[in-house]
């Protein structure tokens, strides 16, 4: 896709989101603001570990399902020292209350690793700086070293989720390339495959550069554009660009969308085969 109109695409996606809210525009802006100014260096140890915990739980699970249980997850799993001092019975009780026992086990193991990290480096900021990273827009080679070390240290961090963690720490050149974003970018013809993680990160950076918005805000807008179910994160009623039965009638970017073109080309083709009036439109674009 050449000469991509990133500004217009994002503006139309954002407008479609704002037309799909169960909150007021003012409430939306307030909710969105927290995705525009993120810097892990202003967070304490518990806050950073909570970011990691959230990433672990969101991985592979429908976001609206985790959102519904987030308060219970926070009640049971917030606080590094508390998790470090849990007995086996205490861990079992948490797993029964929260559910997702495997993810709970990941968090228990991650608490030990995170504590060791703090003992070694003194702070998470110093740990990050050990890779030669001094700001939120580091050189890609240094960022890759950090990515690989995080994946090695912490359970639940893979090729996609490690970028989720980095994005939620405030790194400005990292997009969380989850399946929703990859699907939307693929439908828009921005990447060749919905499995192209690096391509999705590249396009996220292009959107951020073109619009002047932080990449984490770019991320959350596209995520909520394609996630199924009501969400309190931005106050959205439901996603629009869903995997199955996308709501194309509510979408502001169908003119850019290859999926929409192919879908309607099939409709026009079938109508043409039946001798309908739509047949002449098959080659319009």
State whether 85 and 148 are in the same domain. Answer: yes
Question: Average pLDDT over the chain, rounded to whole?
Answer: 91
Tell me the mean pLDDT in the region 216-236: 94
Per residue in 34-66, pLDDT (tens digit) is 999 899 999 999 999 999 999 999 998 888 889
Which of 169, 192, 210 is the endpoint of a domain? 169
State whether 84 and 195 are in the same domain. Answer: no
Q: Which residue has the tokens 């391509």?
A: 199
Q: Which residue has the tokens 């893979």?
A: 158
Band of residue 148 on the pLDDT scale cut at 50, 70, 90: very high
Per residue in 8-19, pLDDT (tens digit) is 999 999 999 999
Per residue in 163-204, pLDDT (tens digit) is 999 999 999 989 888 899 999 999 999 999 999 999 999 999
- In a domain? residue 237: no
Q: Range of 26's domain? A: 6-37+175-226
- In a domain? residue 145: yes
- In a domain? residue 204: yes
In angstroms, rounded to a whole number, what is the distance separating the alpha carbons of residues 170 and 37? 8
Per residue in 105-116, pLDDT (tens digit) is 999 999 999 999
- In a domain? residue 245: no
Per-residue pLDDT, 271: 52
Per-residue pLDDT, 98: 95
State whether 158 and 269 are in the same domain. Answer: no
Per-residue pLDDT, 118: 96
Q: Which residues contact 58 (CB under 8 A, 6 or more apart)?
A: 66, 164
State whether 31 and 45 are in the same domain. Answer: no
- In a domain? residue 27: yes
- In a domain? residue 23: yes
Q: What percent of the chain has pLDDT over 70?
A: 92
- Three state DSSP letters for 162-183: HHHHHHHHCCCCCCCCCHHHHH
Question: Pick from 224, 223, 128, 221: which is nearest to 171 by CA?
Answer: 128
Kindly give the residue spans of alpha helices, DSSP state H, lying in 196-240. 197-211, 215-226
Per-residue pLDDT, 33: 94
State whether 56 and 128 are in the same domain. Answer: yes
State whether 163 and 188 are in the same domain. Answer: no
- In a domain? residue 232: no
State whether 90 and 111 are in the same domain. Answer: yes
State whether 67 and 123 are in the same domain. Answer: yes
Tell me the mean pLDDT in the region 232-243: 94
pTM, two decimals, is 0.83
Which of 184, 209, 226 is the endpoint of a domain? 226
- How many domains is the chain built from? 3
Which of 153, 169, 185 is the endpoint of a domain? 169
Per-residue pLDDT, 181: 95
Tell me the mean pLDDT in the region 225-254: 94
Per-residue pLDDT, 279: 33
State whether 90 and 124 are in the same domain. Answer: yes
State whether 97 and 121 are in the same domain. Answer: yes
Domain with residue 118: its CATH number is 1.10.340.30
Per residue in 94-138, pLDDT (tens digit) is 999 999 999 999 999 999 999 999 999 999 999 999 999 999 999
Band of residue 270 on the pLDDT scale cut at 50, 70, 90: low
Per-residue pLDDT, 26: 96
State whether 132 and 206 are in the same domain. Answer: no
In angstroms, rounded to a whole number, what is the distance separating the alpha carbons of residues 219 and 69? 22
State whether 18 and 52 are in the same domain. Answer: no
- In a domain? residue 265: yes
What three-state secondary structure class fits 21? strand
**Contact yes or no for 184/222 (Cβ under 8 A):** yes
Instruction: Inform me whether the pLDDT recorded for 278 exceeds 50.
Output: no
Per-residue pLDDT, 203: 96
In angstroms, rounded to a whole number, what is the distance separating the alpha carbons of residues 94 and 138? 38
């Amino acid at each position: 896709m050449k000469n991509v109109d990133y500004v217009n695409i994002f503006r139309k996606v954002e407008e479609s989101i704002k037309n799909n809210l169960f909150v007021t525009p003012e409430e939306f802006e307030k909710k969105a603001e927290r995705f525009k100014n993120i810097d892990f260096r202003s967070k304490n140890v518990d806050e950073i570990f909570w970011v990691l915990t959230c990433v672990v739980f969101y991985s592979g699970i429908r976001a609206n399902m985790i959102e519904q249980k987030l308060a219970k997850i926070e009640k049971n799993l917030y606080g590094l020292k508390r998790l470090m001092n849990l007995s086996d019975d205490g861990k079992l009780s948490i797993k029964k209350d929260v559910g997702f026992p495997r993810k709970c086990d990941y968090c228990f193991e991650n608490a030990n690793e995170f504590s060791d990290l703090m003992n070694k480096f003194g702070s998470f900021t110093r740990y990050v700086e050990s890779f030669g990273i001094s700001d939120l827009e580091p050189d890609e080679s240094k960022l890759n070293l950090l990515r690989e070390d995080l994946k090695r240290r912490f359970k639940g961090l893979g090729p996609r989720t490690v970028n989720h963690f980095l994005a939620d720490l405030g790194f400005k050149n990292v997009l969380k390339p989850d399946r929703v974003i990859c699907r939307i970018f693929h439908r828009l013809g921005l990447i060749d495959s919905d499995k192209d993680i690096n391509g999705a990160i590249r396009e996220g950076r292009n959107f951020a550069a073109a619009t002047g918005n932080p990449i984490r805000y770019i991320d959350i807008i596209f995520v909520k554009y394609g996630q199924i179910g009501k969400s309190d994160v931005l106050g959205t009623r439901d996603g629009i660009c869903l995997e199955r039965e996308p709501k194309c009638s509510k979408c502001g970017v169908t003119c850019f969308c290859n999926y929409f073109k192919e879908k309607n080309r099939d409709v026009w083709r079938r109508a043409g085969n039946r001798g309908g009036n739509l047949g002449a439109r098959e080659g319009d674009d």
